[in-house]
A and B are shown apart, each in its own frame.
Chain A
Amino acid sequence: QKEVEQDPGPLSVPEGAIVSLNCTYSNSAFQYFMWYRQYSRKGPELLMYTYSSGNKEDGRFTAQVDKSSKYISLFIRDSQPSDSATYLCAMSAGYNNNDMRFGAGTRLTVKP
């Protein structure tokens, strides 16, 4: 079993739709949860960062963490064509993130 499971998609939605991206994990030591966006042939960029359980909102993006279920989500409201990218979840146990593990990434396409 992989430490981090993420459906690779691809996921295609119309512009304006609400997008839900999810990851599950097996290591209960993970406490820091991140979502990265990666455009084609580019390095990942940090979108959202959360610690422990709960919700965090930033503009059109909401990250949720449910540690009891070992399940994290990223919601994108009013999706735009510019949101088309691969979204990777990542998580770590340590404060320094030296042990960060990534999901496979979900490829999202938002159609105009």
Chain B
Amino acid sequence: GAVVSQHPSWVICKSGTSVKIECRSLDFQATTMFWYRQFPKQSLMLMATSNEGSKATYEQGVEKDKFLINHASLTLSTLTVTSAHPEDSSFYICSAHDRGSYNEQFFGPGTRLTVL
């Protein structure tokens, strides 16, 4: 089956630093990848949609200058949280749309970010 990996699985950083999270589709090509954020006991909130080779589309209320998304290849998208603050602490999950499949999104295992 389609596998999506994320790295790192968890990260702790100091306030003001930047953190990069990688999302990879391991056995399929993903023309579209999605980034979600999930706070404890809350649902997944879509942050942005990224298409390979083009700029990401951000959801309303998500700061594109703070959450930098790069989708440089059909198997890799990165999310960089710039100048992270404690309120950015959350569970970040990516998903990928297999262009060879109908319309299923395959989710990564998530990255837990804690900003001190």
Given contacts A102-B44, A103-B43, A104-B42, contact A95 B112 (CB under 8 A): no
Q: Is the CB of B44 within 8 A of A49?
A: no
Given contacts A32-B103, A100-B105, contact A41 B42 (CB under 8 A): no
B1-43 CB contacts (< 8 Å) to partner A: 4, 6, 32, 34, 41-43
**What is the total of A-B residue contacts with beta carbons within 8 Å?**
55
Q: Describe B's contact surface by its main secondary structure.
A: strand
Nearest chain B CB to A98 CB, angstrom units:
6
Name which residue of chain A comes closest to B41, CB basis.
Answer: A8
What's the interface size class on B, roughly? 20 to 34
Chain A residues within 8 Å of B91, by CB: 41
B93 CB within 8 Å of chain A: yes
Name which residue of chain A comes closest to B45, CB basis.
Answer: A102
Q: Is the CB of A88 within 8 A of B107?
A: no
Q: Is the CB of A88 within 8 A of B110?
A: no
Interface size on A, residues (CB 8 A): 25
A45 CB within 8 Å of chain B: yes
Contact of A97 among B103, B107, B110 (CB under 8 A): B103
**Bound CA span A105–B112, Å:** 18
A-B residue pairs in contact (CB < 8 Å), sample of 12: A32-B103, A41-B110, A41-B112, A43-B93, A44-B107, A46-B105, A49-B104, A96-B97, A97-B97, A97-B103, A100-B105, A101-B46
